[in-house]
Amino acid sequence: MKNILDNIVADKRKEVDLRQSIIPVKQLEASVLFDRETYSLSHALKNSTSGIIAEHKRRSPSKSVINQSLNVQDVAKGYESAGVCGMSVLTDGKYFGGSLDDLLLARASSQLPLLRKEFIINPYQIIEAKAYGADVILLIAAILSRDEIKAFSELAKSLELDVLLEVHNDEELQKSVMPSLDMLGVNNRNLKTFEVSLETSKQLSEQIPNDFVKVSESGISSVNAIKELRPYGYKGFLIGENFMKTDNPGISAKKFINELNE
């Protein structure tokens, strides 16, 4: 039986083929943003007291609608004034209601390191990320071979983009560790069942070499969750729905960070 990830990837292949046929790489490389100096998320996380990467997410396959009414500029400005380390912007349309325009608007509204949160299956999407103002790309080990992870991460580094690699289990982690990554993210959500457990981050923490910034993703909805994970070496915490399900994600993030730093 196909899981949701298989469906997303199948749709993504069609979508990327279509986009490549419309906008050639040369056109992306001519973008105004293509030559801008990028901000390093891994560097920001290493030097942060909070480690929060806050997300802009309208909906998701597991939760359906989260928040459709906010505009990206307000969210980006709010997150920046709250003092988050970086912002994750979902650019998948069909399943998450995002777009590359969201990335452009976030870039125009803030100087935060921006992560293009996307299902990357083609080098074209990495060039696209750079052209639309991203500083970081996400690679998902569950949908890529070791050779693809290597090729994609090396391409990203050549474009001065940070690379966050996401794993769900030990097998994915073992095939993925390589010098062209900056951050290793452990997703606490089981993609087959959608169940979330912080134990995943705890169990995998020892397997992650200290050369990489450790990031925990999914299911982090309380200050206590972060305090629980810090002793395991985590410096980054990706928070998606927690802020977005409120009327003002920036204020929610500010309260959260203040409570964390008390």
Choice among 218, 235, 241, 254 that is catalytic? 218
Any catalytic annotation for residue 166?
Answer: yes
Choice among 12, 50, 57, 122 that is catalytic? 57
And the tokens for 31?
Answer: 């973008």
| Residue type at 222 in one-letter notation | S
Strand-pairing partners, residue 236, are 215
Asked whether the beta carbons of 45 and 8 are under 8 A apart, the reply is no
- Residue 24 to residue 9: CA distance in whole angstroms: 21
20-27, long-range: CB < 8 A, 24+ apart? 20/122, 20/124, 25/124, 25/127
Q: How many CB atoms lie within 10 A of CB 47?
A: 10
Closest alpha carbon to 98 in 152, 135, 61, 144: 61
And the tokens for 89?
Answer: 């912007």
Asked whether the beta carbons of 116 and 132 are under 8 A apart, the reply is yes
Choice among 118, 128, 172, 217 that is catalytic? 217
Any catalytic annotation for residue 117?
Answer: yes
List, in sequence order, every beta strand (DSSP E) within 43-128: 52-56, 59-60, 64-65, 86-90, 114-117
The C-alpha angle with vertex 81 and arms to 216 and 198, in degrees rounded to 5, equals 15
Any catalytic annotation for residue 235?
Answer: no
Choice among 187, 188, 201, 242 that is catalytic? 187
- Residue 210 to residue 233: CA distance in whole angstroms: 8
Choice among 12, 117, 130, 214 that is catalytic? 117
Choice among 166, 188, 235, 254 that is catalytic? 166
Any catalytic annotation for residue 199?
Answer: no
Active site residues: 55, 57, 117, 166, 187, 217-218
